[in-house]
Amino acid sequence: MPDLIEKTPSGAAAAAAPAAEKREKPRSLWGDAWGTLRRNPVFIISALLILLLVTVSAWPGLFTSTDPRACNLDQSKVGSTSGHPFGFDIQGCDVYARTIYGARASVTVGICVTVGVALLGGVLGGLAGYFGGWWDALLSRITDIFFGIPLLLGGLVFLSVIKGGSVWTVIAFMIALSWPQIARIARSSVITVKQQDYVQAAKALGASTTRIMLRHVLPNAIAPVIVVSTIALGTYISIEATLSYLGVGLKPPTISWGQDISSAAQQYRNAPHMLLWPAGALSLTVLSFIMLGDAVRDALDPKLR
Amino acid sequence: MRGASSAKWVAMAAVVALAATACGGDDDKDDKGGSSSGGGIVSASWTDPQKPIEPANVNEVQGGKVLDMIFTGLMEYDPKTAEAKPAMAESIETKDQQNFTIKVKKGWTFSNGEKVTAKSYVDAWNYGALIDNAQLSASFFQDIEGYADVHPEAEGAKAKAKTMSGLKLKDDYTFTVKLSKKFSTWPQHLGYKAFSPLPEAFFKEHDAWLKKPIGNGPYKVDSYKKGTGMKLSVNKTYAGEDKPVNKGVELKVYTDFNTAYNDVMAGNLDVIDDVPAGQLANVDSDMQGRYINQPAGIVQTITFPLYKKDSWGTKDAIKVRHGLSMAINREQITDKIFSKTRTPAKDYTSPVLKTGGYSEDICGEYCTYNPSKAKKLIEEGGGIPGGKMVLSSNVDTGSHKLWMDAVCNSINNVLGKKDACTVNPVGTFGDFRDQITKREMNGPFRAGWQMDYPLIDNFLTPLYKTKASSNDGEYSNKDFDKLLDQANAEPDTAKAIKLYQDAEKLLVKDMPSIPLWYQNGSAAYSDRVENVALNPFSVPVYQAISVK
Amino acid sequence: MGRYVIRRLLQMIPVFLGTTFIIFAMVYALGDPVAQMFGDRTPDPATVARMRHDLNLDKPLVTQYVLYMGNIFTGDFGEAFNGQKVTELMGEAFPTTLQLTLVAISLEIVLGIGLGLLSGLRRGKILDNVVLIGTLVVISIPVFVIGYLAQYFLAVKWNWVEPSVSADPTIDEMILPAFVLAGLSLAYVTRLTRTSIVENMRADYLRTAVAKGLPRRRVIGVHLLRNSLIPVVTFIGTDVGALMGGAIVTEGIFNIHGVGYQLLQGVVRRNSPTVVGFVTVLVLVFLLANLIVDLLYAVLDPRIRYA
In tens, the pLDDT along B247-302 reads 999 999 998 888 899 999 888 899 999 888 888 888 988 899 899 998 899 999 99
Average pLDDT over chain B, rounded to an integer = 88
Give the pLDDT score at B34: 38
pLDDT at B473: 92
Does the residue B460 lie in any domain? yes
- Shared-domain flag, residues B173 and B311: no
The answer as to whether B223 is a domain residue is: no
- Domain end, chosen from B158, B177, B208, is at B208
Number of domains in chain A: 1
Residues B418 and B319 reside in one and the same domain:
yes
Contacting residues for A15 by C-beta, under 8 A, at least 6 apart? A40, A41, A42, A295, A298
Mean pLDDT of the region A198-210: 84
Q: How far apart, in whole angstroms, are the C-alpha atoms of residue B428 and residue A272? A: 28
Flag whether A269 is in a domain.
yes
CB distance B425–A247 less than 8 Å?
yes
Q: What percent of chain B has pLDDT over 70?
A: 93
Among A75, A250, A266, most B C-beta atoms within 10 A, so best to mutate, is: A266
B165, HSE (Cβ side, Cα atoms, 13 Å): 8
Model confidence band, residue B390 (pLDDT cutoffs 50, 70, 90): very high
Rounded distance between C-alpha atoms, residue A16 and residue A294, angstroms: 10
Residues of A in contact with B279 (CB under 8 A): 269
Closest CB from B405, B418, B427 relative to A67: B418
Mean pLDDT of chain A: 80
CA distances from B209 to A51, B28, B172, B202, B229 (A): 66, 21, 24, 6, 17
How high is the pLDDT of residue A268? 82
Nearest-CA distance B138 → chain C (Å)? 9
pLDDT value at position B94?
92
Residue B488 belongs to domain with CATH number: 3.10.105.10
Whether A40 is covered by a domain: the verdict is yes
pLDDT (0 to 100) of residue B18: 45
Q: Is residue B486 part of a domain?
A: yes
Question: Each residue of B27-81: pLDDT tens digit?
Answer: 333 333 333 445 789 999 998 887 889 999 988 888 999 999 999 999 999 998 8
If one counts every other C-beta atom within 10 angstroms of the C-beta of residue A110, the result is: 26
Q: Which residues does residue B394 pair with via DSSP β-bridges, in sequence order?
A: B426
Same domain, B189 and B56: yes
Q: Is C278 on the interface with B (CB under 8 A)?
A: no
- The verdict on a CB contact (< 8 Å) between B422 and A267 is no
What's the pTM? 0.83
- A244 inside domain: yes
Confidence of residue B1 (pLDDT cuts 50, 70, 90): very low
Interface of C with A in 8-27 (CB under 8 A): 11, 14-15, 18-19, 22-23, 26-27
* Contact check, Cβ <8 Å, B132/C42: no
CATH number for the domain that contains residue A71: 1.10.3720.10
Q: How far is C242 from chain A (nearest CA, A)?
A: 7
Q: Which residues form the domain of A33? A: 28-304
CB contact under 8 A, B278 and A159: no
Q: Which residues of B touch C94 (CB under 8 A)?
A: 21-22, 24
Task: Supply the pLDDT for residue B482.
Answer: 95
Is residue A41 included in any domain, yes or no? yes
pLDDT of residue B377: 95
Mean pLDDT of A137-148: 83
Residues B103 and B203 in one domain: yes
Residues in C touching A249 (Cβ below 8 Å)? none
Residues of A in contact with C185 (CB under 8 A): 2
The answer to whether C275 contacts chain A (CB < 8 Å) is yes
State the DSSP code for C47.
H
User: Is A286's CB within 8 Å of C279's CB?
Assistant: no
Calculate mean pLDDT across residues B221-228: 89
Given this model, what pLDDT does residue B304 score? 96
In this predicted model, which residue has the larger pLDDT, B456 or B469? B456
Q: Is the pLDDT of residue B314 over 50?
A: yes
Q: Minimal CA–CA distance to B224: which of B114, B63, B71?
A: B63
Report phi then psi at B449, rounded to 5: -130, 120
Q: How far apart are CA B305 and CA B317, in angstroms?
A: 11
**More confident of the two residues A148 and B500:** B500
Q: Can you give the pLDDT at residue A21?
A: 43
pLDDT in tens, B198-215: 999 999 999 999 999 999
Higher pLDDT, A266 or A6: A266
For residue B417, pLDDT over 70 is answered with: yes
Does the structure show a pLDDT above 90 at A20?
A: no
Given a contact as 3+ CB pairs under 8 Å, which chains touch B?
A, C
Q: Supply the pLDDT for residue B54.
A: 92
Residue B253 forms part of a structural domain: no
Surface-to-core class of residue A132, CB atoms within 10 Å of its CB (0-12 exposed, 13-18 middle, 19+ buried):
middle
Residue A12 lies in a domain: no
pLDDT at A108: 92
Tens-level pLDDT at each residue, chain C (307 residues)? 678 888 888 888 888 888 888 888 887 777 777 777 777 777 777 788 888 887 778 888 888 888 888 888 887 888 877 777 888 888 888 888 888 988 998 988 899 889 988 888 887 788 888 887 888 778 778 888 888 888 888 888 888 888 888 777 778 888 889 988 888 888 878 877 887 787 777 778 888 888 888 888 888 877 787 777 777 776 777 677 778 777 888 888 898 888 888 888 888 878 878 888 888 888 888 888 878 877 776 666 666 555 4
A4 — pLDDT class (breaks 50, 70, 90): very low
More confident residue, A174 or B434: A174
Q: What is the CATH number of the domain that holds B204?
A: 3.90.76.10
Distance CA B506, CA C13 (A): 64
Pick from B137, B11, B65: which is nearest to B521 by CA? B65
Structural domains for chain C: 86-300 (1.10.3720.10)
Asked whether the predicted pLDDT for residue A234 surpasses 90, the reply is no
Q: A65: distance to nearest CA of chain B, Å?
A: 15
- C128 vs A14: CB contact, 8 Å cut-off? yes
Chain B nearest-CA distance from A76, in A, is 7
Q: Is the pLDDT of residue A16 over 60?
A: no
C296 touches chain B (CB under 8 A): yes
Chain B: which residues have CB within 8 Å of chain A?
258, 276-279, 281-282, 329, 332-333, 336-337, 395-396, 399, 401-402, 405-406, 409-410, 412-413, 418-419, 422-428, 431
- Report pLDDT for A246: 81
Chain B nearest-CA distance from C18, in A, is 18
| In contact, A190 and A130? CB cutoff 8 Å | yes
Domains held by chain B: number: 2
Q: Is the pLDDT of residue A305 over 50?
A: no
| Angstroms from A162 CA to nearest CA on chain C | 9
Answer yes or no: do B175 and B324 share one domain: no
Q: Within a domain: residue A21? A: no
- Residue A265's Cα: distance from chain center in Å? 24
Asked whether residue B490 is assigned to any structural domain, the reply reads: yes
Question: How far is residue B248's CA from residue C248's CA, in Å, rounded to a whole number?
Answer: 33
Tens-digit pLDDT profile for residues A40-71: 888 899 999 999 999 999 998 888 888 888 88
Which chains sit next to A, with 3 or more Cβ pairs under 8 A? B, C
Name the C residues in 33-62 with CB < 8 Å from any B CB. Answer: 33, 35-51, 54
Report the complex ipTM: 0.81
B20/C contact by beta carbon, under 8 A: yes
Pair B301, B175 in one domain: no
Tell me how far CA of residue B294 lies from CA of A140, B11, B80, B458, B536, in angstroms: 60, 62, 11, 20, 9
Q: Any CB–CB contact under 8 A between B174 and chain C?
A: no
| Residue in B422, B505, B429, B153 with CA at minimum distance from that of residue C45 | B153
CB contact under 8 A, B419 and A269: no
**Residue A78 lies inside a defined structural domain of this protein:** yes
What is the residue range of B313's domain?
295-519
CB of C289 within 8 Å of a chain B CB? The answer is yes
